């Protein structure tokens, strides 16, 4: 079907074809699932939240719980205040969460519902909490919604205090539960304890026990979110996901926070560990140095398969920036770097990454792009590898180009949510996936007499 994509490039302003993003509430829901005993609540129609839940469920292969204000014609015309108040009462009565995290949808934003006013008039049982975030879907993307919800937790729950504890705060940005487990391991090896917000490990990668648990054991506790005001310093990962929350930590809690890229690849992981080292006062332990050495060894061993291979990288901005930097470290040649999330700062950051690796060749970089456009670029100049979400598979098939699935969403494979792409371990995994994919292609394409088990 995608073979119909024309190679002639036409400027489009008002149309996205095969979008590379989804709507804000998906991100708000994902962020809220990283808080323990939290029920994400979608203030809009049931159709929206059905889509948001199924989207997350298909990526994580785990149930993504959420409730809805269930708008019908009445609420759409007269406002959803009555629906939200009834929902809050019913959710606490029936599902007994500790906290409800309400986010808006296109509909409730368009009619101008005032969540703050509605929630202040709602009946909230003693000891229970309700937070909210405005997540209009016609602005930004799921990444914006994620950032807005994380910032709301901080703005509405964390309490500033001058009494500091020995912990640090870590905002991991939009990563998989497997990445959060890896970040925790790195923190522990660096002798640091952290409040991580949000923390989907143990929630969206919970083990099969045979018994359904509506609220699994994982997630940031409410006590920890409140105590975020007492950490001695904070690190926020990912410019697109964490800028808003990082500003809340600085502004509201008056805590020094470093905003840095996701630790994908060698240099970004080095920088992350050096930040941890300056916060803990500890040197990077030998175990981690050895891990780094093994990564470099692998990169050198497989270099002839990476060298100068042209890559198209697409997906969420923070992940794409990290992948772009790691591709350059591997000797790959990113030719197209694309995100669906709007924001010119993405283009500037990618240019800066390219400059920092002394790359001067021409790279097409775009924010608010779509996969139709990427396909057109590829039709005009092909690549050796696609690196991105499952939605690239149609281009991969149409162009007969190998693809490594990474980022969000990965809907057509298993295990990705358990395994990291961050840290040296994550980089080893990524390098292995990329090398294996390129080598599989060589095996497939070579003449029979050239097929050898030693490569």
137 vs 399, beta carbon nearer ligand SF4: 137
Q: Is 402 in the site for ligand SF4 (CB under 6 A)?
A: no
5, 20, 21, 23: residue in contact with ligand SF4 (rule CB under 6 A)? 23
20, 28, 35, 48: residue in contact with ligand SF4 (rule CB under 6 A)? 48
CB of 56 vs ligand SF4, minimal distance in Å: 13
137 vs 144, beta carbon nearer ligand SF4: 137
Query: Which residue in the block uniquely carries the two structure tokens 């005001």?
Result: 229
CB of 49 vs ligand SF4, minimal distance in Å: 8
Query: Which residue in the block uniquely carries the two structure tokens 């101008």?
Result: 112
74 vs 382, beta carbon nearer ligand SF4: 74
105 vs 230, beta carbon nearer ligand SF4: 105
Can you give the chain as a three-state secondary structure string? CHHHCCCCCCCCCCCCCCECCCCHHHHHHHHHHCECCEEEEEECCHHHHHHHHHHHHHHHCCCCCCEECCCCHHHHHHCCHHHHHHHHHHHHHHHCCCEEEEEECHHHHHCCCCHHHHHHHCCCCCCCEEEEECCCCCCCCHHHHHHHHHHHHHHHHCCCCCCCCCCEEEECCCCCHHHHHHHHHHHHHCCCCEEECCCCCCCCCCCCCCCCCCCCCCCECHHHHHHHHHCCCEEEECHHHHHHHHHHHHHCCCCCEEEECCCCCHHHHHHHHHHHHHHHCCCCCHHHHHHHHHHHHHHHHCHHHHCCCEEEEEECHHHHHHHHHHHHHHCCEEEEEEECCCCHHHHHHHHHHHHHCCCCCCCEEECCCEHHHHHHHHHHCCCCEEEECHHHHHHHHHHCCCEEECCCCCCCCCCCCCCCCCHHHHHHHHHHHHHHHHHHHHHHHCCHHHCCCCC
CB of 44 vs ligand SF4, minimal distance in Å: 6
179 vs 316, beta carbon nearer ligand SF4: 316
CB of 114 vs ligand SF4, minimal distance in Å: 18
CB of 386 vs ligand SF4, minimal distance in Å: 26
For the record, the structure tokens of 428 come out as: 């080893």
30 vs 326, beta carbon nearer ligand SF4: 30
23 vs 119, beta carbon nearer ligand SF4: 23
Which span sits near ligand SF4 by CB under 6 A: 43-51, 300-308, 352-360, 420-428?
43-51
105 vs 242, beta carbon nearer ligand SF4: 105
51, 85, 252, 347: residue in contact with ligand SF4 (rule CB under 6 A)? 51
CB of 239 vs ligand SF4, minimal distance in Å: 24
108 vs 389, beta carbon nearer ligand SF4: 108
What's the burial of 449, exposed, middle or buried (CB within 10 Å: 0-12/13-18/19+)?
exposed
Contacts of residue 191, Cβ cutoff 8 Å, sequence gap at least 6:
280, 282
Q: Is 249 in the site for ligand SF4 (CB under 6 A)?
A: no
CB of 47 vs ligand SF4, minimal distance in Å: 7
141 vs 319, beta carbon nearer ligand SF4: 141
How many positions of this chain bind ligand SF4 (CB under 6 A)? 8
Q: Is 25 in the site for ligand SF4 (CB under 6 A)?
A: yes
Which span sits near ligand SF4 by CB under 6 A: 44-52, 198-206, 305-313, 381-389?
44-52
CB of 144 vs ligand SF4, minimal distance in Å: 12
CB of 117 vs ligand SF4, minimal distance in Å: 21
CB of 29 vs ligand SF4, minimal distance in Å: 11
Contacts of residue 68, Cβ cutoff 8 Å, sequence gap at least 6:
41, 42, 43, 44, 45, 46, 48, 49, 87
Q: Identify the bridge partners of residue 370 per DSSP, sorted by sequence position.
A: 19
29, 39, 65, 106: residue in contact with ligand SF4 (rule CB under 6 A)? 106
For the record, the structure tokens of 48 come out as: 């929206």
Query: In terms of Cα–Cα distance, which of 90, 54, 84 is closest to 71?
Result: 84
Of 169-228, binders to ligand SF4 (CB under 6 A) are: none
71 vs 336, beta carbon nearer ligand SF4: 71
105, 144, 242, 319: residue in contact with ligand SF4 (rule CB under 6 A)? 105
CB of 138 vs ligand SF4, minimal distance in Å: 7
Of 113-152, binders to ligand SF4 (CB under 6 A) are: 137
Q: Which residues bind ligand SF4 (CB under 6 A)?
A: 23, 25, 44, 48, 51, 105-106, 137
């Amino acid at each position: 079907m995608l073979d119909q994509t024309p190679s002639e490039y036409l400027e489009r302003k008002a149309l996205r074809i095969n979008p590379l993003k989804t709507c804000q509430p998906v991100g708000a829901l994902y962020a809220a699932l990283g808080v323990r005993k939290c029920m994400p609540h979608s203030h809009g129609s049931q159709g929206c939240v059905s889509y948001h839940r199924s989207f997350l469920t298909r990526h994580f292969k785990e149930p993504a719980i959420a409730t809805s204000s269930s708008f019908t014609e009445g609420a759409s015309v007269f406002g959803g205040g009555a629906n939200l108040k009834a929902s809050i009462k019913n959710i606490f009565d029936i599902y007994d969460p500790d906290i409800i995290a309400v986010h808006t949808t296109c509909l409730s934003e368009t009619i101008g519902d005032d969540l703050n006013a509605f929630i202040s008039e709602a009946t909230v049982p003693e000891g229970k909490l309700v937070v909210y975030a405005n997540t209009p879907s016609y602005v930004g993307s799921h990444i914006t919604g994620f950032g807005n919800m994380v910032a709301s937790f901080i703005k509405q729950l964390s309490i500033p205090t001058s009494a500091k504890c020995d912990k640090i705060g870590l905002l991991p940005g939009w990563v998989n539960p497997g990445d959060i487990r890896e970040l925790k391991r790195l923190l522990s090896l660096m002798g640091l304890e952290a409040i991580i917000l949000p923390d989907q490990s143990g929630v969206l990668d919970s083990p099969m026990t045979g018994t359904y648990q509506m609220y699994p054991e994982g997630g940031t506790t409410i006590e920890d979110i409140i105590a975020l005001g007492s950490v001695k310093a904070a690190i926020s990962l990912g410019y697109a996901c964490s800028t808003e929350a990082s500003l809340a930590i600085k502004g509201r809690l008056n805590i020094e926070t470093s905003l840095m890229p996701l630790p994908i690849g060698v240099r970004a992981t080095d920088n992350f560990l050096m930040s941890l080292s300056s916060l803990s006062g500890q040197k990077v332990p030998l175990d981690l140095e050895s891990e780094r050495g093994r990564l470099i060894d692998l990169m050198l061993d497989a270099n002839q398969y990476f060298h100068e291979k042209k890559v198209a990288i697409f997906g969420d901005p923070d992940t794409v920036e990290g992948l772009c930097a790691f591709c350059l470290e591997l000797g790959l040649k990113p030719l197209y770097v694309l995100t669906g999330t709007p924001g010119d700062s993405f283009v500037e950051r990618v240019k800066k990454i390219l400059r920092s690796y002394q790359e001067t060749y021409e790279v097409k970089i775009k924010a608010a792009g779509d996969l139709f456009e990427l396909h057109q670029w590829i039709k005009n100049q092909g690549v050796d590898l696609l690196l991105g979400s499952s939605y690239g598979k149609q281009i991969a098939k149409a162009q007969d180009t190998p693809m490594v699935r990474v980022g969000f969403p990965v809907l057509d494979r298993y295990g990705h949510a358990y395994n990291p792409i961050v840290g040296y371990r994550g980089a080893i995994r990524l390098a292995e996936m990329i090398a294996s994919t390129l080598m599989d292609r060589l095996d497939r394409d070579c003449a029979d007499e050239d097929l050898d088990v030693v490569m």
